[in-house]
Chains A and B, each alone.
Chain A
Amino acid sequence: MVAERLAEIVGPAHVLSRQSELLVYNSDGLPGYRRQPRLAVFPGTRDETIAVVRFLAEQGLPFVPRGAGTGLSGGALADDIVVLGLHRLKKIISLDIENRRATVEPGVVNLRLNKHVAPHGLLYAPDPSSEAACTIGGNVAENAGGPHCLKYGVTLNHVLAITVILPSGEIVELGSRVGERDGYDLRGAFIGSEGCFGLALDITVKLTPKPQAVRTLLADFTSVDQAAHVTSAIIASGIVPAALEFMDGATIRVVEDSIYAAGYPRDAEAILLIELDGLEAGVVADLETVRRICLDGGARQVRVARDDAERMKLWQGRKKAFGAMGRLAPHLIVQDAVIPRTKLPEILATIHAISERHSVMVCNVFHAGDGNLHPNIAYSADDPAESERVHKAMVEIMRACIEAGGSITGEHGVGLDKMGYMESIFSETSLNAMCELRGVFDPERRSNPGKVVPIHACKEWHGIPGSAKARAAREAPPLEAEPSHPVAT
């Protein structure tokens, strides 16, 4: 009955209800978690989206908004409830070149927006590594980052306004398309709400002028420690690189063995990929400073990309590194902790010790400039003993990052994956304050239920009657109790 009514709204081709068809939607980019949806609906227009949300509200049905499904937190999973996919809403509604802003539908792919505005000398700054597939709506939900967020800031800093449909079906305008607005920063509250506050019908983003000059450097080191210290030295120098990325020896060799080979030195134990941009004269001067810091810090060589082609190749290796991990083993688990940047050498040594202790291979490829680690382990989930070791190592790594004064996630979001850690970094009253905020946007907790904040942390939570809803509200077990069982990446 629900499927039929939804089919009337969006057309039968855009409602999936057969279990076999729904398999595609049972995980996101982090296949450690799987949940089978009850059905999936894909509206093709704004009006259809509104009608779908209002129908679900009438029926009291919980749902999970989903963009391209590239998330890395298990956040877009629907446990026997409705997936509301927005990837068909891909209109670039307006482009205002003079005022450097664009209004887009939520399903517009990040890279497509960038290609669309590039001829006008503009760019959309947040650049998650999944930029070729991820959507702006998903970026807003996750407050997505990317390598260039070191200088340019994350999604939060680039969104002016969002038209939101609340789970109740009510439509609200958050933020201001022209710039500033009085009152509470509801736009700021919505960004990064991981689909728990409703969904965006359109998003107005700021565009950034393309920098006059760009230089990309590759510095290679014979020890991880040297590269970590050089990272700290560059940050301390006051230069704000556009990006400052770190890859360890294990990652370098995996990438070089793959189709994404970028010409990284295979015998290096670490490389830093550093990008400087801005005015030509300023960039040239900073380039010399950075080169000197690298060489003083023990770099064997500092190579500067000669042209755009070489620059793209160097970046390709970095951005596709997770994909290249597929060569090592069928399954991959990746973390997203952030640590104070001065702690980088110490934490990398700790991660190394943890990986030795549990006999797992941790690859480190991450945004060193802002201390956002992405330790990842390729392994086989079919081997229970190995899965157990991997899980233990990941928990220890996370604990070490928390103890160092860090955060559990810098850009991937909490979703299901990191919910078990929320109580390690936030008090009961702080978590309850988050629940209360959610309760205002979504009093029935129907939009992406059971994510981000553990339900038992919500004082006001009394559950929703009805079996489907009660199931949806079921609390995900803490991570310790549920070892990841990643499937193919």
Chain B
Amino acid sequence: MSTERVATAIRDSVAATGSLRISGRGSWLDAGRPVRADSTLSLREDSGVVSYVPGDLTLTVRAGTTLAEVADITSERDQWLPLDPYGSSAGTIGATLATGSAGPLASSFGAPRDLLLGLEFVNGRGETIRAGGRVVKNVAGFDLSRLLTGSWGTLGVITEATLRLYARPAVDRTFVIDLGGPEKQVTAIVRAVVTSPLAPYALLLLSASAARSIGVSESPVCLIRFGGNEAAFKAQVSALSQISRPQEMETKTWLGIRELDGNAHSTVRISSLPQRVVAHAARMLHDDIPFIRTTIDPRRGILRIVVESDGEGGSAELPGDLHLTRDDGGNASEVIFEKLPPDVWSQVSPSVVSDRLSQGIRSAYDPHRVLNPGILGD
């Protein structure tokens, strides 16, 4: 298993005018638009540490390394990679970067693009390219690392990545606040938490159905994760107690959040101005629609809606009345579809790369359209 194997597979596919479905552990292949490919190139076996110098807080791994493996390796040195994308820890670093997937920790530590220092990838001509480096700060050359992150494998197959790590905090504890009260009260609590000087690692609001599905509560809740030194932790819990009555939860509750997608048939993410999200949060949390699990990251302005199959082959409709998506003087919300039934894509979001620049870049990096054709649209 090596970069050369990936390069050979791509060159062979070009020669045979074929196309490839790029896959990590194959744990999220139902996301994105349907891919028209005649074979799968899996990076499952291409895993392991290339370089880990704990004193530098940097880690270089092969793309098929899973998030769980990274967590194991780094925790031995009391460090971690603060990435908690939706899905499970069985997902790979390569897939996390390729899809740019972020979870609740992103509001403090950034999205994958912010933690990525350098990449090796193979483009659609089978050429190996390195971007960035292994140091924590680098502006040498044009930023191909950012370009590849979130490109869903369509510009190149990521084979290796260098990431920035953090030291594990002395304290990492999680609390829950009940948001089952009237809307006005909930809005006041959310606003107070968001505008307070509190600096939690993660802050996530869950609708009743989301809270129920991970066994936290029967009503909407706010999950809040504090990390840092003991003194900072105590001060924050004390400040939070002025706003509401926090109950401690196990930190592993967050693992449940990552698996909220479960048997979802549709997942939609809406990015909006944080204060607009805060203003609408209470109403959205109280819409307790069966089969629809909503989470809100008010600091990032992200609303994520997971629509579950109802088990009888049918499905709930996506909530149509999303006040958030209204235009507001050039600040219209962005609607990002992660997962939809295959036949729906063409009506809802046929392509996100139809602009001239994206098309030009695609043509330059994958001129024969070998890599994941169709996943971002044509």
A interface residues with partner B (beta carbon < 8 Å) = 96, 98-100, 142-143, 145, 149, 153-154, 156-157, 170, 172, 176-186, 188-189, 191-193, 196-197, 209, 212, 232, 235-240, 278-282, 284-286, 289, 338-342, 367, 370-372, 405-414, 418, 422, 425-427, 429-434, 436-441, 452-453
Judge if B255 is at the interface, Cβ distance under 8 Å. Answer: no
Q: How far, in whole Å, are A434 and B140 apart by their CA atoms in the complex?
A: 11
Binds A, one of B148-156, B203-211, B216-224, B257-265: B148-156
B interface residues with partner A (beta carbon < 8 Å) = 53-58, 78-79, 100, 110, 113-114, 123, 127-131, 133-144, 146-147, 149-151, 155, 166-169, 197, 199, 228-232, 234-236, 269, 271-276, 300-302, 330-334, 336-337, 349, 352-353, 355-358, 360-361, 364-365, 376
Do A185 and B130 touch (CB < 8 A)?
no
B188 to chain A, nearest CB (A): 16
- Known A179-B272, A281-B231, A284-B231; contact A186-B358, beta-carbon cutoff 8 A: yes
B242 to chain A, nearest CB (A): 14
B174 to chain A, nearest CB (A): 18
Do B114 and A186 touch (CB < 8 A)?
no
Residues of B within 8 A of A191 (CB): 143, 146
Can you spell out 10 A-B residue pairs with CB atoms less than 8 angstroms apart?
A: A99-B274, A99-B276, A153-B114, A156-B143, A184-B353, A209-B197, A285-B231, A339-B135, A434-B141, A437-B144
The 6 closest A-B pairs by CB, nearest first: A238-B167, A282-B232, A188-B146, A440-B360, A281-B235, A179-B271
Q: Which residue of A lies closest to B354 (CB)?
A: A183
Contact of A189 among B138, B142, B169, B197 (CB under 8 A): B142
Q: Which residue of B lies closest to A418 (CB)?
A: B140
Do A410 and B137 touch (CB < 8 A)?
yes
B341 to chain A, nearest CB (A): 18
Residues of A within 8 A of B355 (CB): 172, 183
Residues of B within 8 A of A372 (CB): 137
B314 to chain A, nearest CB (A): 27
B192 to chain A, nearest CB (A): 14
Do B144 and A433 touch (CB < 8 A)?
yes
B361 to chain A, nearest CB (A): 5
- Known A179-B300, A188-B149, A238-B78; contact A154-B352, beta-carbon cutoff 8 A: no
- Max chain A C-beta neighbours (<10 A), residue from B100, B140, B235, B330: B140
Q: How far, in whole Å, are A187 and B58 apart by their CA atoms in the complex?
A: 25
- Known A279-B235, A338-B136, A407-B133; contact A180-B141, beta-carbon cutoff 8 A: no
Residues of A within 8 A of B229 (CB): 282, 285-286, 289
Contact of B146 among A99, A185, A236, A453 (CB under 8 A): A185
Q: How far, in whole Å, are A12 and B139 apart by their CA atoms in the complex?
A: 37
- Known A186-B358, A212-B197; contact A153-B110, beta-carbon cutoff 8 A: yes
Q: How far, in whole Å, are A408 and B113 apart by their CA atoms in the complex?
A: 21
Contact of A192 among B54, B130, B139, B333 (CB under 8 A): B139
Q: Which residue of B lies closest to A367 (CB)?
A: B137
